[in-house]
């Protein structure tokens, strides 16, 4: 395994990619309402990404047929947008998007409420987001990769949630998926030492019930095995000697 260290120039390009992606998510959030289809979200996402001079990295990635992964309720990740899938009051919806700017990638996901959602659903979204911030406390030079994993695991597990094991975070840069893999659950080994200039996509996928998931016949959609809700929160993060820099989140 070799984890690339980005140069100042590469970091600048990834900052730009991240800013654009953060803005794409902010714009998509505005359209989340009962009555819109997951296709509408994808279409808007494609247009936004193109309008910023970027390419949608997911489109045609290993044959994925859209620009945005739109995963509703018990769908964990990689939901395929469809004109027939209409968001309704009380749903939760996870949007995962990636952009390429001048050859450099950024990857980020958010889970949003649709209309009025239950307290339990809101709590799941909140804890998933918070677990990301617990994890990145260890995304700094001198820490070990699996300190991030353990922090996410402990935060979610102690609150009774299931941590998805079959999908993990990843290094990112010129490629969407680079070394290292970043599990969201505790590891036996402490993992590689982190160094300034590493760029990581950290992405807890957290279930209300069991951690177990199933893969649907469409070849993409991942769902919870028990049909309960799942939430996703992801950002592209730059490791530094001090505080990590969250590239795909606007201040």
| Chain residues in the site for Co ion (CB under 5 A) | 107, 201, 203
Does 96 bind ligand MF3 (CB under 6 A)? Our answer is: yes
Count of positions on this chain that bind ligand MF3 (CB under 6 A): 11
Residue in 92, 94, 96, 80 with CA at minimum distance from that of residue 39: 80
Cβ-based nearer residue to ligand MF3, 73 or 94: 94
52 binds, among Co ion, ligand MF3, none (CB under 5 to 8 A by kind): none
Token match 């893969």: residue? 215
| Minimum separation from the CB atom of position 88 to Co ion (A) | 27
What gap in Å lies between CA 206 and CA 161, rounded to an integer?
7
Does 62 bind ligand MF3 (CB under 6 A)? Our answer is: yes
Instruction: Count Cβ atoms below 10 Å from residue 134 Cβ, excluding itself.
Output: 18
| Minimum separation from the CB atom of position 64 to ligand MF3 (A) | 3
Sign of CA pseudo-dihedral 49, 237, 119, 93: positive
Cβ-based nearer residue to ligand MF3, 46 or 58: 58
Does 52 bind ligand MF3 (CB under 6 A)? Our answer is: no
61 binds, among ligand MF3, Co ion, none (CB under 5 to 8 A by kind): ligand MF3
What gap in Å lies between CA 49 and CA 58, rounded to an integer?
11
> Which residues does residue 98 pair with via DSSP β-bridges, in sequence order?
107
Query: Terminus-to-terminus CA distance in the chain, angstroms?
Result: 33
What gap in Å lies between CA 207 and CA 204, rounded to an integer?
10
Q: Which stretch binds ligand MF3 (CB under 6 A): 12-20, 59-67, 87-95, 182-190?
A: 59-67
Does 203 bind ligand MF3 (CB under 6 A)? Our answer is: yes
Token match 């951690």: residue? 211
Does 49 bind ligand MF3 (CB under 6 A)? Our answer is: no
Q: 160: which 2 tokens?
A: 């009774």
Does 58 bind ligand MF3 (CB under 6 A)? Our answer is: yes
Strand order in the sheet with 75-77: 75-77, 222-224, 213-215
Q: What number of CA atoms fall less than 13 Å from residue 157's CA on the CB side? A: 13
Cβ-based nearer residue to Co ion, 234 or 245: 234
Selected from 6, 15, 44, 78, the binder of ligand MF3 by CB under 6 A is 78
Residues that bind ligand MF3 (CB under 6 A): 58, 61-62, 64, 69, 78, 96, 98, 107, 201, 203
């Amino acid at each position: 395994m070799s984890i690339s260290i980005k140069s100042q120039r590469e970091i600048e390009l990834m900052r730009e990619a991240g800013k654009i992606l953060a803005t794409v998510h902010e714009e998509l959030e505005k359209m989340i309402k009962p009555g819109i289809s997951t296709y509408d979200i994808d279409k808007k996402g494609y247009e936004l990404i193109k309008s910023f001079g970027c390419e949608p990295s997911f489109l045609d990635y290993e044959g994925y047929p859209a620009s945005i992964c739109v995963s509703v309720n018990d769908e964990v990740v990689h939901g395929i947008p469809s004109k027939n899938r209409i968001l309704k009051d009380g749903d939760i919806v996870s949007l995962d998007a990636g952009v390429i700017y001048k050859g450099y990638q950024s990857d980020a996901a958010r889970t949003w409420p649709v209309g009025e959602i239950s307290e339990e659903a809101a709590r799941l979204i909140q804890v998933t987001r918070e677990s990301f911030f617990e994890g990145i406390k260890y995304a700094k030079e001198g820490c070990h990769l699996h300190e991030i994993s353990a922090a996410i695991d402990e935060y979610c597990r102690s609150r009774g949630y299931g941590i998805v094991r079959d999908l993990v975070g990843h290094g990112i840069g010129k490629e969407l998926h680079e070394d290292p893999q970043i599990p969201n659950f505790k590891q036996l080994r402490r993992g590689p030492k982190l160094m300034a200039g590493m760029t990581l996509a950290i992405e807890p996928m957290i279930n209300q019930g069991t951690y177990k998931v199933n893969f649907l016949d469409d070849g993409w959609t991942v769902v919870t095995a028990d049909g309960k809700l799942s939430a996703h929160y992801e950002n592209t993060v730059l490791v530094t000697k001090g505080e990590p820099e969250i590239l795909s989140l606007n201040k």
